Chains A and B, each alone.
Chain A
Amino acid sequence: MRWLFLVIVSLLFTACEEVNKADAGSVTAQNATAGGGNIPDNAAGFLSEPPQFTYPEDSNICLEREVEVPSNSAAGGFHVFHEELRADGQGSFNLEIIETRMAGDTVFGAPSGDVAITYQDQQRYMVKYRDIHLGRGLSLNFNWTEDPVLQQIAGVDCVHYIVESVHGLGDAEFWIDAGNDMLLAYTMFDNAGEVTLKLTTTIIDNTPVHAGVEWSSPLVDEEDFKSDGSNTIPLDIEVSEPLYLPPGFYKKSVRVLNSFGMLPGMGNLHVALFSDGIHQLFIAQHSDTSGVNNGGMSQPPNSITLAKFSEIGGIRMVEGNPPLKRVYVVGSMSRDEIHTVFSSLF
């Protein structure tokens, strides 16, 4: 009887595995046939498991690359930022702007003062948050297809991946070095199929000399948020949690930044990062004792909240002020998604 028991058990697990594979295959085939977003109808090489990437800031390397973001002007077009990323392979890195070509221009020129300051201040966060780093939930939130033909990026043979968002939040394309899986280029699309960000590596130096490089450092002290109140950077607000997140999103990290006094009445900043494995969304909040708010008077807790909204370079921002607090929601999601997340905080 013991052998029969083992046979039954093995048959049971085999049946479960076969069902899982059959379901995965049918889902990816169905999505590809629908031709949603930017997936070519004749794409082959469906992947049941997402690939693994390596990232340049983890290597001893120097890259030049071009980053394209959509312009907010009526004429449209893209701004192009020619930048250089250096990393020593020990965790230190530096991101500098070399030159820019703004929408409507035909040649590159020196960066404006605003752009130069932004890169100087934000370089560490741009590499950490702007640059793509695959998170979790990739196989549940995206359908992955590998292009069978290698493509060249900066003279390197690259594997080209086409990624379709299962929830229609925006597709993506990735190019990784076929030799070391390093992410060298990517293009992000919004839910309407428009490009929101495009990064292309143009020059690769695998034996760089980092002479006189000033490595990036955080603007302010920060640490992981502890819900038991044991943070060394104190938080003087009751954190609002969103009741709505875009489908497939999860809480990726929560940090507390020592931003007290950086602006009049500003307390320390609680920053929660949410992601679906590729797209990212910030929800940040801090105390506000400045007495200045949108409508001139602090609003009762249960009234309709007024919020300001804007967009820059494919990134959407919302900010509002419940009593004695300021709340921000920032991300590349559609306006509707960003607004709904913000609204669910009240």
Chain B
Amino acid sequence: MTDSQQSSELPPQVIAELQSMGDLQAPPELWQGVRTQLIIDKLETQQAPSELWDVVHAQLAEEGVTARPTKIFSLRPVYAAAAALLIVLGVAFQSDWASSNAGSGLQLAPAISTEIRAEFLSRVAFVEVQPHEMLPASRALAASLGGTISEVNR
């Protein structure tokens, strides 16, 4: 393709092959595609006039299509990346705060569904007894929390 772009004439071999095709007609889309590619190739080698953007922008602003360009577009990529990182960290910090206590890493037990609780409870059968029928270790632990034994409670 490069050679074709540079040369205004087709190579003799191609001419000969085309002539041998006789009355065969190329589809209309072929010429349209070739024509478009030729225009693009020609434009790539040219520079737009410096006044072009001003003209286009003025026209678009008059039509209410665009706003004035903001300064953020002039931020260097490193500043934009830093701002994005801060946003991500801010979101992560906010969500982490909700589940822990002031950065201490405290893990609090979550609320559990009734179905899971019922599954746990199905593993054990409980028999209610009088306090004095519990083992001394149970009663000592209860006493340390304020469950004081008395003769009345027997």
Contact = CB atoms under 8 A, between A and B. Distances in A.
A207 B93 CA distance: 49
Contacts of A263: 135-137
B127 A309 contact: yes
Nearest to B71: A4
Contact of A280 (B101, B107, B145): B145
A330 B138 contact: yes
Dominant secondary structure at the A interface:
mixed
B147 A313 contact: yes
B123 to A, nearest CB: 5
A225 to B, nearest CB: 16
Contact of A313 (B101, B126, B136, B142): B142
Interface in A92-127: 100, 102-103, 112, 114-115, 118-119, 121-122, 125-126
Contacts of A38: none
A320 interface: yes
A79 interface: yes
28 contacts: A1-B71, A4-B71, A5-B82, A8-B86, A12-B87, A79-B152, A100-B150, A112-B150, A121-B143, A122-B140, A125-B140, A244-B120, A247-B108, A248-B109, A259-B137, A263-B135, A305-B123, A307-B125, A308-B127, A309-B126, A312-B131, A313-B142, A315-B146, A317-B134, A318-B138, A328-B141, A339-B121, A344-B120
Given A197-B146, A246-B109, A247-B111, A308 B151 contact: no
A59 interface: no
Nearest to A286: B137
Given A340-B121, A342-B124, 17 more contacts: A5-B82, A72-B153, A114-B150, A115-B149, A118-B143, A136-B104, A247-B112, A248-B108, A266-B137, A269-B137, A304-B122, A310-B138, A312-B149, A313-B148, A315-B142, A318-B138, A330-B142
Contacts of A141: 108
A331 B146 CA distance: 10
A91 to B, nearest CB: 19
Interface residues of A, number: 86
Given A305-B123, A317-B142, A330-B142, A284 B148 contact: no
B29 to A, nearest CB: 50
A8 B135 CA distance: 64
Contacts of A266: 137
Contact of A130 (B79, B124, B127, B144): B144
A250 B107 contact: yes
Interface string A326-346: 101011100000011011101
Contacts of B93: 16
> 7 smallest A-B Cβ distances: which pairs?
A315-B147, A125-B144, A245-B109, A130-B146, A313-B147, A330-B141, A343-B120
A19 B130 CA distance: 52
Contacts of B117: 244, 340
Contact of A307 (B126, B130, B140): B126
A282 interface: yes
